[in-house]
Amino acid sequence: MIGIFDSGYGGLTVLKACMKLLPQYDYLYLGDNLRVPYGSRSPETIQQFSEDALKYFFDKKTPLTVFACNTASAAALPYLQEKYLRKPGVIDRKVLGVIIPVAEKAAKMTRNKRIAVVGTRATIRSKAYEKELHKLDPSIRVFGVAAPLLTPLIEEGWHNKPEARSILKKYLAQVKDFAPDVLILGCTHYPIMHDVFEDIMGKSVLVLDSSTAVAESLADYLKRHPEIESQLGRNADAAQPGKRIFTCTDTPEQFSEFAEKFLGGEKVIATKVQL
């Protein structure tokens, strides 16, 4: 079973990309929609909430867990890696975040060495993308913009309306002045507005969707780590999809309805769990 953790609904974009690229594995999704949104909370609170989620996956013994949430990856994962994961002998508790795979892809793609990041307040404040990009190439210049209204607009289904486009245009005004050639969508909700981002930024800017980057990185990781790969549950017929289990921390009916619509065709019956 591969664990996928998000603060709410956004991580479904990552799950969708993973299920497309690696359909044969079993997936366990957890959306902490009882305490969503994480993006405007303090670092200590994000660490505490993410630790609760991590313990849930430890309890479920998922050999590999993906922190699909940019905010949790940026503001909590380094702390949790230190506390739980970088211990000698700990081999059955692997956690992949979204920051490193996306930063690696962005660093590979940029030509003018100017990369912009759009994310939640907490993700931008953490400078997590900047730190990873500078590890890869200290000459890269990074510009981050918090876009806190995008998530509610997308969750409310307003992403195709002119008001959402107009708000995004205002958020991106300074990004355009910065003139990057890669723009990182640093929140799992944003791929839903991928086309609008592309349209506003123009053809010369690559809009980097974290969900695909994470799925590709997961596939690569599993190739390089057969000792983890062999522990994952899967469908015996590799052409057939594995099990999908959906859990959330509030309003399971609402979660199921949203997830079903979003994943398109997948039957979803989410269970409420307590963290």
- Catalytically annotated residues: 69, 187
Return the range that interacts with a copy of itself (CB under 8 A); candidates 13-21, 87-95, 152-160, 258-266: 152-160
Q: How far is the CB of 161 from a copy of itself (least distance, A)?
A: 8
Own/partner long-range contacts of 15-20 (Cβ < 8 Å, ≥24 apart): 15/68, 15/263, 16/211, 16/262, 16/263, 17/211, 17/212, 17/214, 17/215, 18/66, 18/214, 18/215, 18/218, 19/241, 19/244, 19/263, 20/215
Q: Is 118 among the residues that bind a copy of itself (CB under 8 A)? A: no
Q: How far apart are CA 264 and CA 215, in angstroms?
A: 18
Amino acid making up residue 183: L
Q: Is 274 among the residues that bind a copy of itself (CB under 8 A)? A: no
Q: How far is the CB of 176 from a copy of itself (least distance, A)?
A: 18
What would the two tokens of residue 188 be? 């799992």
Q: What is the torsional sign of CA 231, 233, 236, 237? A: negative
Q: Is 166 among the residues that bind a copy of itself (CB under 8 A)? A: yes
Q: Is 148 among the residues that bind a copy of itself (CB under 8 A)? A: yes
Binding residue for a copy of itself (CB under 8 A) from 51, 199, 250, 260? 250
How many residues at the interface with a copy of itself, by CB under 8 A? 17
Binding residue for a copy of itself (CB under 8 A) from 79, 84, 158, 221? 158
Q: Is 257 among the residues that bind a copy of itself (CB under 8 A)? A: no
Q: How far apart are CA 267 and CA 260, in angstroms?
A: 6
Binding residue for a copy of itself (CB under 8 A) from 20, 109, 136, 163? 163
Return the range that interacts with a copy of itself (CB under 8 A); candidates 157-165, 177-185, 209-217, 227-235: 157-165
The residue (of 108 and 169) whose beta carbon lies closer to a copy of itself is 169
Return the range that interacts with a copy of itself (CB under 8 A); candidates 39-47, 65-73, 76-84, 239-247: 39-47
Q: How far apart are CA 148 and CA 138, in angstroms?
A: 28
Check if the beta carbon of residue 32 is closer than 8 Å to that of residue 248. Answer: yes
The residue (of 44 and 92) whose beta carbon lies closer to a copy of itself is 44
Binding residue for a copy of itself (CB under 8 A) from 167, 222, 263, 275? 167
The helix/strand/coil state of 249 is coil
CA distances from 128 to 10, 94, 229 (A): 19, 20, 28
The residue (of 217 and 249) whose beta carbon lies closer to a copy of itself is 249
CA distances from 14 to 53, 86, 190, 223 (A): 17, 25, 11, 19
Tell me whether residue 89 is exposed, middle or buried, using C-beta atoms within 10 angstroms of its C-beta: 0 to 12, 13 to 18, 19 or more.
exposed
Q: Is the peptide bond before 78 cis (omega within 30 degrees of 0)?
A: no
Binding residue for a copy of itself (CB under 8 A) from 85, 145, 149, 228? 149
| Binding residues for a copy of itself restricted to 55-114, rule: CB under 8 A | none
Q: How far is the CB of 197 from a copy of itself (least distance, A)?
A: 17
Comparing CA positions, the residue from 58, 136, 142 lying closest to residue 93 is 58
The site for a copy of itself (CB under 8 A) is made up of 34-35, 41-42, 45, 148-149, 152-153, 156, 158, 162-163, 166-167, 250-251
